[in-house]
Chain A
Amino acid sequence: DTAVSQTPKYLVTQMGNDKSIKCEQNLGHDTMYWYKQDSKKFLKIMFSYNNKELIINETVPNRFSPKSPDKAHLNLHINSLELGDSAVYFCASSQDQPHDGYTFGSGTRLTVV
């Protein structure tokens, strides 16, 4: 059973398009995250939800909008895609305690052409 699953795995799209990435976890975790990994492998937190409530909202363009229909799902919608949005996007989940580690999905490689 996949603990944190993301779809799609690969996404190639043209500039200006709108796309969504979906994430689901079956671990019963209360907190979910979106991270962006750039071409230099640097990881940057974008958003986090705890029990469907937005708790972390880093400085990202408002073209990016997360949505959490329930605590097992966290989707990422991106409007008006730009070349600079090309990256690997990772979903992760964790329990509520700060000493709990994260479980990551396998990533979505987004390429904007």
Chain B
Amino acid sequence: AQSVAQPEDQVNVAEGNPLTVKCTYSVSGNPYLFWYVQYPNRGLQFLLKYITGDNLVKGSYGFEAEFNKSQTSFHLKKPSALVSDSALYFCAVRPFTGGFKTIFGAGTRLFVKA
């Protein structure tokens, strides 16, 4: 079965420190990978995606993500966290030949402390 795992329910980090939000996936073939962010009482917003090429992709608000094919991971990173980064983060996978269906992880809540 195809799945996306976000092993941490919550990540706590101090402002100014680097942050990592983890994501691993189990999908046949080469999928497209995405990160979305959800602020309270809002819809999800697209952050970044991996299609092909360079394993490090850059996205909105200073976020980046590293694709690792051998570990089937796509971790979200930011060199210096801001309090305003506190939100719910979703990893998502869209199989290359899976039609229109995107599979979302369960979400990781990021809490950045001032």
The chain A residues found within 8 Å of chain B, CB to CB, are: 4, 31, 33, 40-43, 45, 48, 50, 55-56, 90, 92, 94, 98-99, 101-107
Contacts and interface: CB of A to CB of B under 8 A. Distances in A.
Nearest to A109: B41
A98 B96 contact: yes
B25 interface: no
Contacts of A45: 101-102
A105 B43 contact: yes
B interface, how many residues as a size bin?
20 to 34
Given A41-B88, A106-B43, A99 B100 contact: no
Contacts of A41: 38, 88, 106-107
B36 to A, nearest CB: 8
Q: Which label, helix, strand, loop or mixed, suits the secondary structure of the A interface?
A: strand
9 contacts: A43-B107, A50-B100, A90-B44, A92-B44, A94-B100, A99-B32, A104-B44, A104-B45, A105-B43
Contacts, number: 61
A33 B36 CA distance: 16
Contacts of B38: 41
A50 B100 CA distance: 9
A55 B100 contact: yes
Given A42-B107, A102-B44, A106-B43, A56 B100 contact: yes
Contacts of A31: 100
A105 B44 CA distance: 8
Contacts of B46: 101-103
Given A42-B106, A106-B43, A101 B49 contact: yes
Nearest to A4: B43
A72 B87 CA distance: 29
A45 B36 CA distance: 15
